């Protein structure tokens, strides 16, 4: 994929629902439904979709012309999609909610073009819809949503200077506007269209929002976790933030598996294995929201932990399970879990002295998409067997 195309959705972060929440002036935007909205948002993060849906449906019932209930009904669907991004069954209904919000906001803006609530809900809906379109590869439509939303966001910044939550949006913009062009040089011409960023200032702003914000506390923690995990490579720091998210929302497997990932990347294999073993058990016991993608990830990381302590027989079984599940759930192309599990199987068979099986798995790796230098490693092991 073209790196500009691959990185473009990140420029839509500014228009996400999290940014929308951060822009809400605390004395104006949610005065009427503040308590309900905050309760509903907590239900959403903890994946209690029925309770969240009930809260936002009640707002729609009380005030069908308000964009609030319609927007957050869409947020419920967004988190359902987050659990399985390849599942498109909610796309149409979600898009209908965003269209409804835009329609309601346009009606209000025709009467008062400085209607703050209408501005931030319209920009949030455009950004939210743009993120979905980017996830579905509809790059032009996503770009048009971003183009339409940016001027509205700019106006919101001017009217939200006295609100601490605005630091969330400013913080993520500061960080990513500098970080993305660094990671994707081909994006630099696109970045020239945006104000210059500052990573250090961005982290400081997010930290302030995490400590003193109102609506955007949780999103600030989540984005700090992402920043430290993906870009700063400070995995122990990322784990601290993910632990906060898991403690606050213990029923959300997205945050729980992220914590396990951070522990693994930090080298805390005992803690990582405990988490992923628990994820596997939760799936086996039918715990709500734990799906085959979560257990596939669990098998992969349990396999890594076992391989690190030379329990090769059991590690082999877990990598095999990860591959089998990948064959079942990978809808578009082989996932990193599939590719890296194939590589690990080759390494295990080499360590066990079964060169024929090891070679077969290395060749499988070369027939799949390259992930984390998997091709380079497979070629090296084909020339010189992995010895452990």
pLDDT tens per residue across span 213-256: 877 788 899 999 999 999 999 999 999 999 999 999 999 999 99
Angle made by CA atoms 314, 315, 317, in degrees to the nearest 5: 65
Rg (CA), the chain: 22
pLDDT tens per residue across span 21-65: 444 444 444 447 888 988 999 999 999 999 999 999 999 999 999
Please check whether residue 373 lies inside any domain of the structure: yes
Considering the domain architecture, whether residues 171 and 115 belong to the same structural domain is answered as yes
Q: What is the pLDDT of residue 9?
A: 44
Please check whether residue 355 lies inside any domain of the structure: yes
The answer, yes or no, to whether residue 4 has pLDDT greater than 70, is no
- Cα–Cα distance measured from residue 215 to residue 376, given in angstroms and rounded to the nearest whole number: 46
Q: For residue 84, name the pLDDT band (cuts at 50, 70, 90).
A: confident
Considering the domain architecture, whether residues 221 and 117 belong to the same structural domain is answered as yes
Please check whether residue 131 lies inside any domain of the structure: yes
- Cα–Cα distance measured from residue 199 to residue 230, given in angstroms and rounded to the nearest whole number: 14
Q: Which of 232, 266, 282 is the last residue of a domain?
A: 232
Distances (CA, A) of 30 to 17, 111, 256, 309, 381: 14, 20, 30, 53, 59
Q: Which of 179, 197, 232 is the last residue of a domain?
A: 232
Nearest to 23 by CA among 138, 172, 133, 132: 172
Whole-structure pTM value: 0.85
Three-state DSSP state, 31: coil
Q: What is the pLDDT of residue 170?
A: 75
CATH code, domain carrying 378 = 1.25.40.10
Q: Other CB atoms closer than 10 Å to residue 33's CB: what's the count?
A: 21
Q: Other CB atoms closer than 10 Å to residue 40's CB: what's the count?
A: 27
Q: For residue 171, name the pLDDT band (cuts at 50, 70, 90).
A: confident
Please check whether residue 241 lies inside any domain of the structure: no
Residue 187 DSSP one-character state: G
Q: What is the pLDDT of residue 212?
A: 87
The number of distinct structural domains making up the chain is: 2
Considering the domain architecture, whether residues 179 and 283 belong to the same structural domain is answered as no
Name residues whose C-beta falls within 8 Å of residue 66's C-beta, 6 or more positions apart in sequence. Answer: 32, 33, 59, 60, 104
Considering the domain architecture, whether residues 162 and 204 belong to the same structural domain is answered as yes
- Of all residues in the chain, the percent with pLDDT exceeding 70 is 86
Considering the domain architecture, whether residues 268 and 323 belong to the same structural domain is answered as yes
| Across 113-122, 217-226, 247-256, 260-269, least confident range | 113-122
The two tokens of residue 299 are 């098998």
Please check whether residue 218 lies inside any domain of the structure: yes
Nearest to 157 by CA among 182, 123, 208, 204: 123
The answer, yes or no, to whether residue 275 has pLDDT greater than 90, is yes
| Helix pair 67-82, 49-62: axis angle to 10 deg | 160
Question: What is the average pLDDT score of the chain?
Answer: 87
DSSP helix, strand, coil percent of the chain (3-state; round to 5): 75, 0, 25
Tokens 């319609």 found at: 70
pLDDT tens per residue across span 301-355: 999 999 999 999 999 999 999 999 999 999 878 999 999 999 999 999 999 999 9
Q: Is 267 left (phi over 0), alpha (psi -120 to 50) or beta?
A: left
Considering the domain architecture, whether residues 34 and 153 belong to the same structural domain is answered as yes
The two tokens of residue 161 are 């200077």
Q: What is the pLDDT of residue 166?
A: 67
Q: What is the pLDDT of residue 77?
A: 95
- Cα–Cα distance measured from residue 46 to residue 82, given in angstroms and rounded to the nearest whole number: 13
Q: What is the pLDDT of residue 231?
A: 94
Q: What is the pLDDT of residue 216?
A: 77
Considering the domain architecture, whether residues 329 and 371 belong to the same structural domain is answered as yes
Nearest to 222 by CA among 209, 4, 163, 189: 209
Q: For residue 16, name the pLDDT band (cuts at 50, 70, 90).
A: very low
- Cα–Cα distance measured from residue 339 to residue 322, given in angstroms and rounded to the nearest whole number: 10
Residue 152, domain extent: 3-232
Considering the domain architecture, whether residues 65 and 94 belong to the same structural domain is answered as yes
Count of alpha carbons within 13 Å of 225, Cβ hemisphere only? 25
Considering the domain architecture, whether residues 263 and 371 belong to the same structural domain is answered as yes
């Amino acid at each position: 994929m073209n790196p500009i195309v691959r990185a473009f959705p990140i420029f839509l972060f500014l228009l996400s629902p999290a940014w929308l929440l951060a822009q809400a002036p605390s004395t104006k935007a949610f005065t009427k439904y503040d308590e309900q909205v905050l309760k509903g948002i907590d239900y959403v993060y903890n994946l209690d979709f029925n309770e969240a849906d009930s809260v936002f449906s009640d707002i729609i019932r009380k005030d069908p012309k308000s964009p609030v209930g319609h927007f957050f009904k869409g947020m419920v669907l967004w988190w359902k999609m987050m659990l399985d991004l390849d599942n498109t069954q909610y796309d149409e209904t979600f898009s209908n909610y965003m269209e409804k919000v835009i329609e309601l906001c346009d009606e209000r803006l025709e009467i008062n073009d400085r209607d703050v609530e209408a501005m931030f809900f319209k920009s949030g809906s455009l950004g939210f819809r743009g993120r979905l379109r980017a996830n579905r590869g509809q790059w032009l439509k996503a770009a048009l949503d971003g183009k339409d939303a940016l001027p509205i966001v700019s106006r919101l910044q001017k009217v939200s200077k006295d609100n601490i939550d605005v630091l969330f949006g400013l913080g993520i913009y500061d960080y990513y506007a500098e970080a993305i062009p660094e990671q994707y040089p081909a994006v630099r011409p696109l970045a020239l269209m945006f104000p210059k960023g500052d990573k250090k200032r961005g982290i400081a702003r997010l930290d302030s929002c995490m400590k003193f914000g109102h609506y955007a506390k949780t999103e600030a923690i989540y984005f700090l976790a992402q920043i430290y995990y993906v870009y700063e490579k400070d995995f122990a720091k990322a784990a601290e933030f993910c632990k906060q998210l898991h403690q606050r929302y213990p029923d959300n497997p997205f945050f729980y598996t992220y914590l396990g990932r951070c522990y693994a990347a930090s080298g805390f294999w005992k803690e990582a294995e405990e988490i992923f073993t628990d994820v596997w058990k939760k799936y086996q016991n039918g715990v709500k929201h734990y799906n085959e993608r979560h257990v596939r990830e669990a098998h992969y990381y349990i396999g890594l932990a076992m391989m690190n302590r030379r329990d090769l027989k059991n590690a082999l079984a877990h990598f095999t399970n990860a591959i089998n599940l990948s064959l079942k759930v990978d809808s578009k192309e082989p996932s990193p879990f599939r590719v890296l599990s194939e590589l690990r199987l080759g390494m295990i068979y080499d360590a066990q002295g079964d060169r024929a099986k090891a070679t077969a798995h290395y060749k499988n790796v070369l027939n799949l998409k390259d992930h984390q230098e998997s091709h380079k490693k497979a070629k090296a092991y084909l020339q010189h067997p992995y010895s452990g």
